Chain A
Amino acid sequence: MKKYTLITIFLINTYLSFGQILPGTLDVSGFPNISQTINDLVSEAGLDDTSVGFESNFDTNLITFTLDPTILMGITAASTEQNCDANVFRYSVYMYTSYVPDGFIIEAKTTFDSGFGLPAVSTYDTLPIQPLGPRGLTPENGGNYITIPRDGASAIKVFEFVGCREDIPIQFRIKPSVKVVGGNPVNFDVYYTVVGSLN
């Protein structure tokens, strides 16, 4: 009886260990500084400038999300790469903006399997059945632009990926109403929120 109790505790403990998502860190590099050119302007009198829009470079922001290293008593027990190799989770990325004036539409997108998995080749890749599917990136809306809300209470999902991932490029498209005054830069903040899950 004692033997079975120990086995049960072991199994429960193992399940709980595997069922816990590990802490990770999001890094966003790049500073979107986008300028409208004369070719980007509306050319038909009477129409709003939102009818045209203009794009940033495809990699205006680069997104990296990796698991934190495991440090025990000041010693690194497992590096970021080792943790990413041994622990694969699904991550959803949500976006919103703040301090954006009325009539200023901001859209964002990335492409299928953009960025780089970390590690490049993982133990997970060799599993005959990969519980979360292959390590890769799936954009929402089929990879087309998604309008980013100005309210964090309804941050919108832009893409998801499986496993740690580096340098995911984000491209923006701006559709500014003519009601937004020109001459002064429009400054705002872009928020990225990564939500991890076990399935």
Chain B
Amino acid sequence: MKYTFKYLILVVFVITTYNNFAQETINAYDPNSFILGGDQKSVPATVNLLPVAIIDVEPDPFSANTGSGTVISAEAGLPVTSGAAADLDNIWLNFTQRSNNYQPSRIYVSTNQPVPAGMTIKVEIEIGNYGVEGDFPANPRYGQITLSQAEEIIVYDFASGYTGDGVNNGYHLIYTIENPGSVSLPDGFEVQYRIK
């Protein structure tokens, strides 16, 4: 009985504390809440928003200290260490996009320099794996895209959304590099993604 009373007091204390911290509200649709000694007014308001389109690859697959470590060197310009085809397996495409007047956007991929002869770099989006955060309409291109300086669509028309930041968010990119002749990438070689 002694413990029951103790717990009852504790429960009352917790409920009281919760109620005290809760923000006070009223039903403002009910005129009785303000008709005596109060009043109600409204004002119109306008907010103007800018469109936004930003894109990022996480982690940067060609910077130091990133990549799977079991596939190829992570530094652009260094030779692939194996003559066999290689996959980069944990690269994610993040973006944030607010459309302007419902204009859909696309994401393009290309390279900033020609891919050296004898080497082929392909990228594809893993279908159905769109990360754990964010809120965006997925509309990826199916299948591998062979990269070149010519822009290719990798995500077709989509409306506003955001993917969440970092790995395991957005589109999972799978790179496949075929380099039987162990050709080196030129200095400053980049794979570029563009959202517009």
Contacts and interface: CB of A to CB of B under 8 A. Distances in A.
B54 A45 contact: yes
Interface in B11-29: 23-29
B40 to A, nearest CB: 5
B27 A188 contact: no
A48 B161 CA distance: 8
B101 interface: yes
A46 B168 CA distance: 11
A38 B50 contact: yes
A74 interface: no
Contacts of B166: 46
B70 interface: no
A99 to B, nearest CB: 9
A11 to B, nearest CB: 23
A126 interface: no
A114 interface: no
Given A45-B56, A154-B25, A155-B28, A181 B102 contact: yes
Given A25-B39, A194-B38, A155 B27 contact: yes
A124 interface: no
Contact of B43 (A24, A32, A34, A35): A32
B52 A41 contact: yes
Interface stretch (A1-9, A89-97, A115-123, A130-138): A89-97
A126 to B, nearest CB: 24
Contact of A141 (B23, B95, B99): B23
Interface in B71-109: 94-103
Interface residues of B, number: 52
Contacts of A46: 56, 58, 94-96, 133-134, 162-166, 169-170
Q: A interface, how many residues as a size bin?
A: 35 or more
A154 B27 contact: yes
Contact of B33 (A30, A36, A37, A193): A193
Contact of B47 (A34, A41, A89, A155): A34
Contacts of B101: 181-184
Contacts of A41: 50, 52
A178 B162 contact: yes
B188 interface: no
B104 to A, nearest CB: 11
Given A36-B50, A187-B45, A194 B39 contact: yes
Residue with the highest number of chain B CB atoms closer than 10 Å, among A25, A44, A48: A48
A155 B25 contact: yes
A154 B22 CA distance: 12
A45 B165 contact: yes
Given A45-B56, A46-B56, A154-B27, A190 B102 contact: no
Interface string B123-156: 0000000000111000000000000000000000
A191 interface: yes
A86 interface: no
A28 B43 CA distance: 7
A54 to B, nearest CB: 9
Interface of A: 21-28, 30-38, 40-49, 61, 65, 89, 91-92, 94, 96-98, 104, 140-141, 146, 149, 152-157, 172, 174, 176-197
Interface of B: 23-29, 33-34, 36-52, 54-56, 58, 94-103, 133-135, 160-166, 169-170
Q: Which 8 A-B pairs have the closest CB atoms?
A: A196-B37, A21-B37, A46-B94, A45-B56, A46-B165, A155-B28, A26-B39, A32-B45
